[in-house]
Structures are given as C-alpha cells and as structure tokens.
Structure 1
Amino acid sequence: MSVIELNETDVPAIAVRGDYAIVAITKHGTALARGLHKQFSNMDLYYMGKFAQGDEAASGIQLFNGSVRLLLPALFQSYKGLIILISLGAVVRMIAPILQDKKTDPAVVVIDDKGEHVISVLSGHLGGANELTREVAAAIGARPVITTASDVQRTIPVDLFGRRFGWEWESASADKLTPVSASVVNEERVAIVQESGERDWWMYDSPLPPNLQLCGSIAEALDAKPQAALVVTHRLLAPEEEAILANGVLYRPKVIVLGMGCNRGTSAEEIEAVIRETLAELGFSMRSVRALCTIELKKDEQGLVAVANKFGWEFVWYAPDRLNAVAVEEPSDTVYRYTGAYAVSEPAAKLYTGTGKLALTKKKSGNCTISVGIMPFE
C-alpha cells in the first residue's frame, strides 16, 4: 500500500472515489473513522501511515505521512464535504487560509476524539454540513451540534428555501439573502407570497412562526408593508410589483412544462429562440422550466436533446398511442400521417402536467410547435 508523503512543495496525489472525505490523525480518531467509513459507501478515508492495519489497500483507505495541513487544500477542491476527526480549533486554523466563498466551499464537519459530538463547522446550509452532521451523528450515536440560527429557531432557512424541490433564487436576489435571513431569525415581519411550486415546504411539526405572514398576492404583501419578503413564482414581475424585492428574495420553482414538436433537423438555436420568445410573451421565467416533452419519434432529435441538456431540463417523450389518448383542440391528420399522433406538443404537455388546461395550447413558429403548461401543485 503506497503512502502519500506530504511536503510543502508537491500537491498530494489523492484518489477520489466518493463524495466525502473522512480524515483522522489520532489512534482513537482512526478507529472511529474506520467504523464510519464502513457505514457510508460514498466516503473516502484518509489517516496517518503509523496507524496502518494492513487492510487499507483492500478497503480503499489512503494513508499519509506528514502534516495534515498540507493534505486539506487538495481535499477541499475534490470533495463535497470533509469529516475531520481533529480538534475544532485546529481545524479552524488549518482551513482559514483556503476558504473561498460559502457558495463553493465544501461542507466541513468536525468530530471530537471520543466521538461524543459531531459539529457543523462550515457551509451548513448551501454546502449541506448541517444535514451531514445529523447523518454522521446518528450513525455513530453522537450528539449533533448545529448553531445556524434558522435551524435552532426552527424557521425558514432563506438560502435553502425550496432547494429540495429544485427551486432557485434569482441571481439579482443573491445580495438580499443575508439581510432577509436576518429579518427571519430576528422575528421581523416577513411576507411569503407563493404563486406556484410545491406547497409542502414547511419542514417542522410546529406551526409557522407568527412573524411569517402568508400573502395571497404580491399586492397584498405590499399593502402589509413587511420588513422582508420571500416570493415564489414562475412569473416575470411587473414593474409595480418589484418594490417587494427591496428587501426580498425571488425564487423560481420548477413548474413550467414545454411540449414541443419540430421538423427533423431543426437546430438547437432555433428551438431555444422559440422557447425564449414564447416564455417572454407569456411573462414566464426560463429558470422555472422543469421539462421538455415530445413524441417518441423525436427522442433522438439533436436540437431538442441539446437544449434540454444545456439547461438541465428533464427530457421526456411519449408513444403516439399515449398522445392520442389525450383530448386536443386541433387534431391534425397531416401530423398523424407523419408521426402516428394527431398532435404532439399539446398532448405531451398535458400528459406531463396531468391537467387538461395549458397556459399556451399551441403556437407554430418556424420549424417548431410549442405548448406550455404549469404544474398544478396544490
């Protein structure tokens, strides 16, 4: 088994197999780390060569000699999170020079040498350290230590609101995350406006805190004059509505479903242009698109596949018989002759959304036909 020799000049050669790295430098820490490594298949284990037990090669464990401080920068760049069995103070000193940004830094969790406490140290929300802390603590029977205010107070974590559903905040709202979070945890009046998206976002079994006010519309929220706001919508806001974002965060839920048909060989550029133009006409945000749907005949249509991949949309196709089972406004014998279905875009969007009502039934534009539906989360 080769051992990583750490020094000040060379970048350590590590073998990344999992999403998380466990690091130990003491005898007791190594024993705890080995037990943890056996419980999680997506974690790589690193500990000092002097604690080698002979099974490291077979177990995929990596040994090192030298200061662990020299190993951490490589791990920081390579893993989603680090679980470190070293004293908290030492970890803080070692990672301080390599911190970049909370949006990119990995999660860092510290475990004490007796395995009594698992502490969320860095990237608690965005990096997932708080969740990782709970999982690791449960695995070794330790106490999770989480100090993030929203977790302690059992309220909404603004930077993670709706994240488990794929919601994204608008980039223009990024600089509002901190002040709006402060309003939430300081129990100031915060309006929540939700026009679309999943409704089961409240994660606790206790009632919503009284400082969080649910409003039926942005106009209602503006009338309430809150000190901060959370707005969840697929719509582009009208100028008179944008005042709500003076101290507010705008979230884009994944609710827009695009049904599309196109001529063979239609370019990705034309398909994307039609989508952008259509959504702009409807006043909808591209960031709220969830899926691009078509007929099975088009499952390998390069333009459609390229656009779906570019934006990370789900790409779905349906067999003609499934499309024909859906009622459509204008069935076409011509489309049937070429595809075996009387329509493509309209029934595809209806099948995915599970509703017979679309925001846009059908529009022909160049080589494309497009329909737009909204997921009816209740």
Structure 2
Amino acid sequence: MDQNNQKPAIALWVITPKGAGIAQRIAGRLENVTIHAGKSAGRPEDALFFDSLAEAVEKHFRSYDAHVFVMATGIAVRMIAPLLDSKHVDPAVVTVDESAGFAVSLVSGHLGGANAWTEKIAAITGACPVITTATDRAGVPAVDLLAKQHGLQADNPEAVRAVSMALISGQKPLRYDPYQVLASGLGQWTQDINTPDFDNQPGIYVCHHCPDLPENVLVLRPTSLAVGMGLNSGTDAGQLCEAVYSAFARHRLSVKSIRAFATICEKTREPGLREMARHFARPLTGYSRARLAKIKDVPTPSETVEKHMGVKSVCEAAAIKAARSGQILVPKQKTKNTTVAVAALDFLS
C-alpha cells in the first residue's frame, strides 16, 4: 500500500491472452505493478496465477492502492461489489476492455485516484478515458480531492455532496479558511468569510476549533496545533492520552489538527510518551533546556518546574516552540501526572 512515500501498489487482473498482452504493456510503463492472471490467460511473465477470480480479488482487494481489470466492466463490477465499503477507504478501480478502446474510472475516482489512473492507462494503451464523476463532468473542483492534496482531514465527509452540488449548480459555497489552505484551489469558486457564520448555506470550514455548524458545512481539519507535554517519570500512555483528549474537548479543539507533540529532551525517552505519540500518529520532538529557556512569554511559569527541570516552563514553552512561536490556545492543564498546553501556528507550510 502507499505508505511512507512508497509507490502506490497496483494490481492488474487478466483472464485472457489478449488481456494479458494489454496488462503487460501497462506494467511496462508503471512501477510497483503485479499482474494476476487466470488459467486461460496464457503465461504472462512474472504474473501471479489464480484458479478463481472472485476468490483472488477478495483476498487481495485491500492489499493494493489500485486495481485495473482488463476485461468487461460487468465482470469487474460483480467481483468488487461485495467488497466495497466507501469511497473514503476503497482502493481505486479501473477497467479496460480487451480491445483497449475504453478505460473506465469505476470506483474511488477522486480520493482513491481512479480518475488519475484512468488518464494514465488511457495514455499508455491509446484507450479513450471514461470519467463520470459529476464535478469532473461539470468542470468544477473536486473538494474531497483538494482536501486530500492539502492534508486536510474531514470530520463529516458526507457533506462533500452538498458542497459539490452547490458548485455544480453555479453557487459559491461559503468558505471559512483562516489559514487560506484552499484559497488557491477554491478561491474563485467560493466566497471567503471572516467569521464561521454559514446561515444554513452549503460551505467549507477549515479550522481546528469545533463550533456547532450546519450539516451541509464540510468540516476540514488542518494540522495547525502543537501540543506541549510535561509528565512525571513512568506515566503511562493511557493517562497521557486522556489528558490530551480532555484538554482538547474542554477547549473545543479537534485532535485531528494536532501537528506534533513536544517536550523537553529528557522526557522523549519516556515509553508512555512515545506510545501516546504513536496512538495519535504524530511526531514527538524534544527541545533542550537552553532552547526552552529562550521562550519568555509563557502564561504560567513555575518555580517548581524550574527547580526540577532547569526551566520555568516545559509544556507551554515546548508548545510555543513547536508552533514556531505561535499563540497559546490552551495554557497549562494539570493532572496528577501530566501537564498539557496547546499552541496554534500562525501560518501553515
């Protein structure tokens, strides 16, 4: 799968010698491709062979980022139908007929990349690309794809439909986007607003705060928050995670917007802190005493912390440092064994 910047994994499915020939042409032009061939497909080079197409597709469906079926679209539909979940998690599926007349984007056109794969495969085979997603046909931006490209996570992906329908019908959805993450892609298509007042109109909200919003507003989370952590030695990951969740809930912030965790260097060796960072799938950074001491404007300096750690602040100073001198949104929150502070970046890059 496409992890850690590896090339996307692609499966090519063939059941006849003619289909195998097309698959080999495609495989010769793309990277990280595996051909899966049936008994009647001849013996294509380097292929994996199967007895039952349905069983093989079921076994491997979630193992690839994209599937290309070189066969009738109806066959492909019957193979994948029981395996589909949603466009947010399904791999891309493309079909190519055995005359290479048409390449069809079948499933996960935007988020899975099937539309892009269709264009590539059409260019390789000479097929006519067939793309039927409504935004593409209407010539308007695909909001879900733009969000993915900018690293934004959706709270309510079902709201994409309301925004897309507004775009297709010629409306300009409202867009609250303080960091202007989507300004380049949606600026001319949306109406930028300075306060999150949508008045029940379709819209897009790009921010780490969690206000109450209408259902037709797509909520997208930028990675704009740095979390500073302090802890007693031996504190387990459960206590640390609970402290983070509680602080974010109390101040109505989204944990999806966490960009990184930060603390003093010595604490990065704590197993509980490392496990907590893995739980949130975010990096953990440690700063030296000297670097933390340079952060002067901490809201709640502590003589006790200075006595034990050599600096007047750990969690607040670390949050500010990790946020590139950004503003503290959540000053130090204390539990028995932890302290948590949250700072917002002034700009994203």
The alpha-carbon deviation at position 331 of structure 1 amounts to 6.2
For 1:233, the equivalent position in structure 2 comes to 207
For 2:4, the equivalent position in structure 1 comes to none
For 1:121, the equivalent position in structure 2 comes to 106
For residue 52 of structure 1, what is the amino acid of its counterpart? R
What TM-score do the two structures reach when normalised by structure 1?
Answer: 0.77
Residues 1:178 and 2:161 are matched in the alignment: yes
Residues 328, 343 of structure 1: 8 Å contact kept: no
Closer/same/farther in 2, CA of residues 201 and 307 from structure 1, 3 Å limit: farther
The alpha-carbon deviation at position 345 of structure 1 amounts to 2.0
Q: Secondary structure at the match of 2:211?
A: coil
Residues 1:369 and 2:329 are matched in the alignment: no
Among residues 91, 106, 122, which one is paired with 1:106 in the alignment? 91
Among residues 50, 56, 69, which one is paired with 1:64 in the alignment? 50
> Aligned equivalents of 2:294 and 2:30: distance in 1?
46
Residues 1:45 and 2:35 are matched in the alignment: yes
The alpha-carbon deviation at position 339 of structure 1 amounts to 4.4
For 1:208, the equivalent position in structure 2 comes to 188
Residues 18, 42 of structure 1: 8 Å contact kept: yes
Q: Secondary structure at the match of 2:50?
A: strand
Closer/same/farther in 2, CA of residues 336 and 139 from structure 1, 3 Å limit: farther
Residues 8, 65 of structure 2: 8 Å contact kept: no
Q: Secondary structure at the match of 1:202?
A: helix
How many residues of Structure 1 are paired with residues of Structure 2 in the alignment?
Answer: 340
Q: Which runs of 5+ in 2 are unaligned?
A: 1-6
Closer/same/farther in 2, CA of residues 129 and 337 from structure 1, 3 Å limit: same
For residue 10 of structure 2, what is the amino acid of its counterpart? Y
Q: Secondary structure at the match of 2:284?
A: strand
Residues 1:303 and 2:277 are matched in the alignment: no
For 1:12, the equivalent position in structure 2 comes to none
Closer/same/farther in 2, CA of residues 262 and 120 from structure 1, 3 Å limit: same
The alpha-carbon deviation at position 122 of structure 1 amounts to 1.0
Residue deviations 1:240-268, cap 9 Å, x none?
Answer: xx3xx142222222212101121111222
For 1:280, the equivalent position in structure 2 comes to 249
Among residues 275, 288, 294, which one is paired with 1:319 in the alignment? 288
> Aligned equivalents of 2:185 and 2:248: distance in 1?
30
Q: Which runs of 5+ in 1 are unaligned?
A: 1-16
The alpha-carbon deviation at position 45 of structure 1 amounts to 1.4
Among residues 73, 76, 91, which one is paired with 2:61 in the alignment? 76
Give the root-mean-square deviation of aligned CA atoms.
Answer: 3.1
Identity of counterpart residues, as a percentage? Answer: 29
For 1:266, the equivalent position in structure 2 comes to 235
What TM-score do the two structures reach when normalised by structure 2?
Answer: 0.82
For 2:17, the equivalent position in structure 1 comes to 27
For residue 320 of structure 2, what is the amino acid of its counterpart? K
The alpha-carbon deviation at position 369 of structure 1 amounts to 2.6
Q: Secondary structure at the match of 1:234?
A: coil
The alpha-carbon deviation at position 304 of structure 1 amounts to 1.6
Closer/same/farther in 2, CA of residues 113 and 258 from structure 1, 3 Å limit: same
The alpha-carbon deviation at position 342 of structure 1 amounts to 5.1
For residue 131 of structure 2, what is the amino acid of its counterpart? I
Q: Which moved more, 1:344-353 or 1:174-183?
A: 174-183
Q: Secondary structure at the match of 2:210?
A: coil
Q: Secondary structure at the match of 2:132?
A: coil
> Aligned equivalents of 2:318 and 2:118: distance in 1?
42
The alpha-carbon deviation at position 373 of structure 1 amounts to 1.0
> Aligned equivalents of 1:141 and 1:315: distance in 2?
48
For 1:166, the equivalent position in structure 2 comes to 151
Q: Secondary structure at the match of 1:346?
A: helix
Residues 1:88 and 2:78 are matched in the alignment: no
